[in-house]
């Protein structure tokens, strides 16, 4: 019974406090190119996510893209045309002080699966859990990245149980490491975060962000895809 309780607690929200909820909106239909490729004839949209990353935000993004495609299908039926445009989210700007660690990783997984390039705009924060969403981008461009150790809301409870919290921490730490490995981002990113208490934030220098593949990082398989589709030219003929 105790082991089940530990697992359940490990799935509790982990937050960096923010004052506003997350919001996603479609911005533009982007020109076909390596920055937002129209893969297999699917138009590429850009979007913006701002605010605290909360449970359900990944579905919120997916739903907006689904709505756009359904609208195109309805229009094609009304116009009685054989051509139905399709759209995908290929580029997203993200600005967030953090939020739910597991939702952030879920969002990052969705970004990677759907080949989304992620930008943290200049002078906009991407702190705490936001960094894990950024890590999921097939291309990652960060400018204001902040790290600290994750924590749960149970830490605010005066009846804090160290043993339960320690087991929980081990579970979440393992899940984050596994996630970063799948995203092909150095797990040293987590090691760096764990050196900063949750009551503070360590803003990465350019050199640090570059070392972790967040200043200008890319997924090597996506890079190969851009080469295969003619968006980039290979520098050599090596296999």
Backbone angles phi, psi at 52, to 5 degrees: -70, 135
> What is the per-residue pLDDT for 5?
29
Report residue 9's pLDDT band, with 50, 70 and 90 as the boundaries.
Answer: very low
150 confidence band (pLDDT: 50, 70, 90): confident
Closest to 190 (Cα-Cα) out of 233, 123, 138, 131: 131
Q: Quick one: CA dihedral 121, 122, 125, 129, positive or negative?
A: positive
pLDDT at 6 over 50: no
- Copy the structure tokens of residue 97: 């002080």
Closest to 172 measured CA to CA, from 22, 5, 6:
6
pLDDT tens by residue, 14-48: 333 333 568 999 999 999 999 999 999 999 999 99
- What predicted TM-score, i.e. pTM, was given to this entire model? 0.87
Do 60 and 16 contact (CB within 8 A), yes or no?
A: no
What is the CATH number that goes with domain 2-228? 3.90.226.10
> Are 142 and 126 in contact, with CB atoms under 8 Å apart?
yes
| Dihedral Cα 74, 78, 79, 83, nearest 10 deg | 30
| pLDDT average, residue stretch 146-157 | 82
pLDDT tens per residue across span 96-147: 999 999 999 999 999 999 999 999 999 899 999 999 999 999 999 999 999 9
Look up residue 158 and give its two tokens.
Answer: 């005066």
pLDDT band at residue 12, thresholds of 50, 70 and 90?
Answer: very low
Task: Give the pLDDT band (50/70/90) at residue 61.
Answer: very high
**C-alpha pair distances (Å), 130 with each of 2, 49, 93, 154:** 31, 11, 12, 21
Q: Which residue has the higher pLDDT, 155 or 178?
A: 178
Q: Report the range of poorest mean pLDDT among 13-22, 39-48, 78-87, 166-175.
A: 13-22
| Region 139-167 average pLDDT | 86
């Amino acid at each position: 019974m105790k082991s089940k309780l530990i697992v359940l607690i490990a799935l509790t929200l982990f937050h960096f406090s923010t004052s506003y909820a997350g919001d996603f909106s479609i911005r533009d239909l982007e020109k076909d190119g390596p920055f937002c490729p129209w893969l297999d004839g699917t138009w590429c949209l850009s979007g913006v996510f701002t605010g605290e990353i909360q449970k359900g935000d990944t579905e919120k993004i997916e739903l907006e893209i689904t709505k756009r495609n359904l609208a195109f299908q309805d229009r094609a039926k009304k116009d009685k045309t054989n051509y139905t445009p399709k759209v995908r989210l290929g580029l997203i700007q993200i600005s967030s002080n953090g939020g739910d660690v597991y939702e952030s990783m879920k969002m990052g997984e969705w970004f990677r699966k759907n080949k989304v390039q992620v930008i943290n705009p200049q002078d906009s924060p991407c702190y705490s859990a936001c960094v894990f969403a950024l890590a999921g981008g097939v291309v990652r461009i960060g400018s204001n990245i902040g790290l600290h150790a994750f924590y749960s809301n149970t830490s605010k409870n005066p009846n804090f149980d160290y043993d339960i919290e320690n087991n929980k921490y081990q579970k979440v730490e393992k899940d984050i490491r596994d996630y970063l490995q799948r995203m092909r981002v150095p797990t040293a990113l987590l090691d760096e975060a764990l050196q900063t208490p949750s009551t503070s934030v360590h803003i990465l220098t350019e050199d640090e962000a570059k070392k972790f593949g967040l200043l200008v990082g890319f997924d090597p398989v996506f890079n190969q895809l851009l080469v295969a589709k003619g968006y980039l030219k290979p520098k050599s003929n090596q296999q």
